[in-house]
Amino acid sequence: MPLNGNQRIWLTGATSGIGKALAERLLEDGHRVALSARGETDLQHLAAGRDNALLLPLDVSDREAVARAGDRIAEVFGGLDLVLLNAGTCEYLDAQEFDVGLVERVFAPNFFGAVYCIEAALPLLRQARAEGSRPLLAATSSAAAYLPLPRAEAYGASKAALSHFLESLRLDLHAEGIGVSVIHPGFVKTPLTDRNDFPMPMRVGVDQAAEAILAGLSRRRLDIHFPRRFTLLLKLMGILPPALRHRLGLRLVRPGTTSESAP
């Protein structure tokens, strides 16, 4: 489902997986899209022949670079009707070889990178609101935020932190007329999940994921989650009593290895 009108959009993580599928759809639909990712060459290939793309090569974990990107968007677009934060990474923790550096690497783009982008984007969302738009801030969390899972100490915690941050921010931005949507995908076939060595139930393709996200954004849904049979099951498990949740989680730990993993 397309978004209404010709919107000014900032999309991070635009050259791979869900982000690439979203970028292609948004550009095809005629929106003006600021595209951010670390790889400048990939951004150029993505935007080839499209005059509605603004290329902003960027590592979201670099706060100063993010601020400069916000200034550039302000210069070219004036404001932003939609901010779609999709950049992120995934590494799984081995508790037998506890690695704080891994935790820091995962939190850098998944949580702090999103916060830096929000810092840069809020003035642009407020400008759009002053112009009569109904601006929306959205970010890709994960269904792993619903339920603690083995080996997901870093990844799941970074996504849970992001979801909590955004849901709190939604309350504080309500009076300003700025909406906040949180996206909680299950397993999606991307270069990140292709590295996983465990079963991924109900995994969907990137085009299906992009369609679900755009449909949810067009309806300004607070929680965009898919595939729903999978995400509703995780939500249900997440509200079980701790002892029962613990017993169910132990079933995901593989004998002879550390454990299974998270979407």
Q: Which of 92, 116, 146, 155 is labelled catalytic?
A: 155
262 in a domain, yes or no? no
259 in a domain, yes or no? no
Give the pLDDT confidence of 150-162 residue by residue, as tens digits: 889 999 999 999 9
pLDDT over threshold 60, residue 258:
no
120 in a domain, yes or no? yes
Give the pLDDT confidence of 41-53 residue by residue, as tens digits: 999 999 999 999 9
Could you give the CA distance from residue 30 to residue 198 in angstroms, rounded to a whole number? 39
Give 78's contacts (C-beta < 8 A, 6+ positions apart). Answer: 8, 124, 127, 131
* 155 has catalytic annotation: yes
Q: From residue 170, how far is each of 157, 179, 182, 223 by CA, in Å? A: 20, 7, 10, 12
More confident residue, 186 or 124: 124
Q: pTM higher than 0.95 for the full model? A: no
41 in a domain, yes or no? yes
Give the pLDDT confidence of 51-100 residue by residue, as tens digits: 999 999 999 999 999 999 999 999 999 999 999 999 999 999 999 999 99
- The domain in which residue 198 lies consists of 8-250
261 in a domain, yes or no? no
Which domain CATH number covers 165? 3.40.50.720
What backbone torsions phi and psi does residue 36 show, to the nearest 5 degrees? -120, 140
pLDDT over threshold 60, residue 262:
no
Per-residue confidence (pLDDT) for residue 1, from 0 to 100:
56
Domain count within the chain? 1
Confidence of residue 248 (pLDDT cuts 50, 70, 90): confident
Strands 32-36 and 53-55: parallel
2 in a domain, yes or no? no
263 in a domain, yes or no? no
Could you give the CA distance from residue 197 to residue 189 in angstroms, rounded to a whole number? 13
43 in a domain, yes or no? yes
